[in-house]
Amino acid sequence: MNAKVLIAGLIATGSLLAQPPGGPRGRGPMEFGGPGGPGRGGQGPVATVTGAPYSAVEVRTSQQVLAAGNVIQRSEQTTVYRDTQGRVRRETTRTGPDGQTSTRITISDPVAGVVQELDPKTKTAFTRLARFPSGPPTAGTAGTAGAGRQQMMGAGRRPASNDTNVKRETLAAQSMQGTLASGTRVTRTIPAGAIGNSQAIETVRETWIANDLKVPLMTKMSDPRMGTTTMELTNINRSQPDAALFQVPSDYTVKKGPGGRGPGGRGPGPAQQQ
């Protein structure tokens, strides 16, 4: 056997073994980016949409079925506000295993070109520069960061458009939450043996985008390895939110920093007092 071929094969094998089973590590099926705001898990902010203000409650749930009928269920709610200029505020309150609650507030401001993370407990705001892409999302591209990573797990790094294991379907438009929505379904098949699996694994992602608001109304991701994750946008109000929601309160201490991996990263990085 040619020595160069043998060495290349060993390097490729080592790279595959170095990856965690099923693909890159994440925070599980609840790792979403929500409609109209920055995604989590290292994704940047979604496209800026102007002239379509609204407020709503984003409800995210996940269910994972374990052996012997055991089930893990999680739920999370985020209040979302967007003004006519495309600025977005997201408020998420979580309850930890110890019963303690914490609130995360993120303000994405494409006008100023910054993303601000507010900590109500310490009254501290971390601000960092950000780039905001233009153009509204489509049913084929909008959705969640975590679910997007789940779709890629073990399926290789080829572009989806060239991947024979990816099937895309355009769904018939339907009325949801009082508005017309466009839908798409993406089915990805991980061939047997691709990640050590004895049989093929199929994941399905369905996304519905509001035609007027240009945000996901519903996203559902089914993966037999991680369970089912669903995001629904509820209690939609199309009036202009209070402008004060997109400003840092005057009694907050503002700090500047790189902010980790971007607007949807793991929180503020080393910060300096402004």
pLDDT number for residue 265? 41
Other beta carbons within 10 angstroms of residue 160's beta carbon come to 14
SS3 224: coil
pLDDT number for residue 83? 97
pLDDT number for residue 135? 62
pLDDT number for residue 138? 52
pLDDT number for residue 269? 40
Measure Cα distances from 260 to 50, 114, 140, 268 in Å: 27, 14, 28, 6
Long-range CB contacts for residues 119-126, cutoff 8 Å, separation at least 24? 122/253, 123/249, 123/251, 123/252, 123/253, 124/252, 124/253, 124/254, 124/255, 125/248, 125/252, 125/253, 125/254, 125/255, 126/255, 126/256, 126/257, 126/259, 126/267, 126/268, 126/271
| CA-based nearest residue to 225, from 190, 201, 249, 204 | 201
Q: Which amino acid is at 229?
A: T
Q: What's the half-sphere exposure (Cβ side, CA atoms, 13 Å) at 151?
A: 26
Phi, psi of 8 (to 5 degrees): -60, -40
Complete domains list, the chain, with CATH? 3-273 (2.50.20.10)
Q: Which residues have CB under 8 Å from 177's CB, separation 6+?
A: 210, 217, 233, 234, 236
Q: Which residues have CB under 8 Å from 159's CB, separation 6+?
A: none
Q: What's the half-sphere exposure (Cβ side, CA atoms, 13 Å) at 15?
A: 7
> Left, alpha or beta for 150 (phi > 0: left; psi -120 to 50: alpha)?
alpha
Q: What is the Cα–Cα distance from 61 to 17, expressed in whole angstroms?
A: 32
Task: List the chain pLDDT tens, one digit each, 274 residues.
Answer: 454 444 444 444 444 333 333 333 333 444 444 444 444 433 445 678 999 999 999 999 998 888 888 988 888 899 999 999 999 999 998 877 777 788 899 999 999 999 999 999 999 999 999 988 766 555 444 443 333 333 334 444 455 557 889 999 999 999 998 899 999 999 999 999 999 999 999 999 999 999 999 999 999 999 999 899 999 999 999 999 999 999 999 999 999 865 444 334 444 443 333 4
Which helix H or strand E contains 150, and what residues bound it? helix 145-152
Residue corresponding to tokens 């399926």:
155
| CA-based nearest residue to 55, from 221, 243, 262, 220 | 243
pLDDT number for residue 152? 37
Angle at 243 between CA 116 and CA 252, to 5 degrees: 40
Q: What's the half-sphere exposure (Cβ side, CA atoms, 13 Å) at 181?
A: 23
Q: Which residues have CB under 8 Å from 269's CB, separation 6+?
A: 257, 258, 259, 260
